[in-house]
Amino acid sequence: MDLETNLLKEFEEFLQNNIPTKKSFHPHFEVAMKKMFSAGGKRFRPLLLLSVVQNYEPLLVKNAFYPSLALEMIHTYSLIHDDLPTFDDSPLRRGVETLHVTYDEVTATLVADALNTDAFLTLSNSPLSSDTVVKLTQELSYGAGVNGMVLGQALDCYFENQKLSLEQLMFIHIHKTAYLISTALKMGAIISNLPKQKVNLFGELGLKIGLLFQVVDDLIDATKSSDEAGKPTNNDTNKNSYTNLLGVEGANQKRDELKEEIKGLLDKLDVNMKQRLQKLIEKYL
C-alpha cells in the first residue's frame, strides 16, 4: 500500500469516527449529518494538506487530521448548499441522492450550516500549538468566506445568465474553487512550520491547481454522462464555464496551459514533495 492510499485510509477512518453529531429526538437529522460523508468523496483537499505535513513533519500527521476534517466539513457544506433548489437544484451528488431530495430543504440547509460552524470547533480542538491553530483558523475562514469561496459562489450565481470575459470567469473560479484548494496546501505548510515564502509558494500552486480542477470539472460536465461523472452533467448550459466560453477545444487548451504553469511551480519544490503532488493531481484531475 503506497503512502497516499494508507494516508487516505487512516483519514477516512478518523473522519467517520469524528463527524460531529448530537443525539436528540429528531427523526433523521443525525443520519443526515453523516449521509454525504458516507457517500464517499475524493478527499482531495485533506490529502493535499496531509501530504505536505507527511513530507515535512511526519510526526504531526495524526494531529493534522483535525484541520483536515475541518477542511472537508467546509467543502461538504458548500456542496450541500450548491445542490439546493435555490442554487443548482441537483438531485445527485457522489452517486447518491442529495439531502434535500432524501429529506427536505430545511434539513439540507441546516446540515450544511452545522458543518460550516462545527468545522471551526473541530479546528479549535486540534492537538497543535495555539499559535498554529490561530493561523489555520485565519487561513480557513479567509479561503471559505467572503474573501474566497462565498464571494465566488455569489458572483457565479448572480452572473449565471450573462456572458463574462475570461478574466472575470477566472476571478470567479479562483474564489469559488481555487481558494479552498490553495488553503489546503497553505494549512499543510503552516502545520509543518515552513517559512512564509514557502507557504506562499504552496498558496500560488493551490490556486493554479484549483483553476485546473474547475476546467476539468467543466469538461466533465460537457463531455461525460451522469453515470460516468457520479452527478448530473450537461448542467452548466446557463452558467459561465470554460466550455461555454471557450468551447471544448479551447477549454482543453486552457487545461494544458494550466498544467504547464503547475509544472513550473512544482519544479520549485523538493523532489519528494513534487512527486507526491504530481501523483495526486494525476489521480484526481
Pick the CATH number of 3-284 from 2.60.120.10, 3.40.190.10, 1.10.600.10, 1.20.1050.10: 1.10.600.10
Q: 165-189 pLDDT, tens per residue? A: 999 999 999 999 999 999 999 999 9
Average pLDDT score over residue span 138-159: 97
Q: Residue 39: which pLDDT band, with cuts at 50, 70 and 90? A: confident
First to last CA, the chain: 21
Read out DSSP for 8-54?
HHHHHHHHHHH------S-SSHHHHHHHHHHT----HHHHHHHHHHH
Distance CA 157, CA 78 (A): 14
Structure-block grid coordinates of residue 225: 454522462
Rounded to two decimals, the pTM is 0.94
pLDDT at position 239, please?
75
Distance CA 66, CA 128 (A): 9
Q: 217-275 pLDDT, tens per residue? A: 999 988 976 665 555 666 666 678 999 999 999 999 999 999 999 999 999 999 999 99
Q: What is residue 90's three-state secondary structure? A: coil
Mean pLDDT of the chain: 94
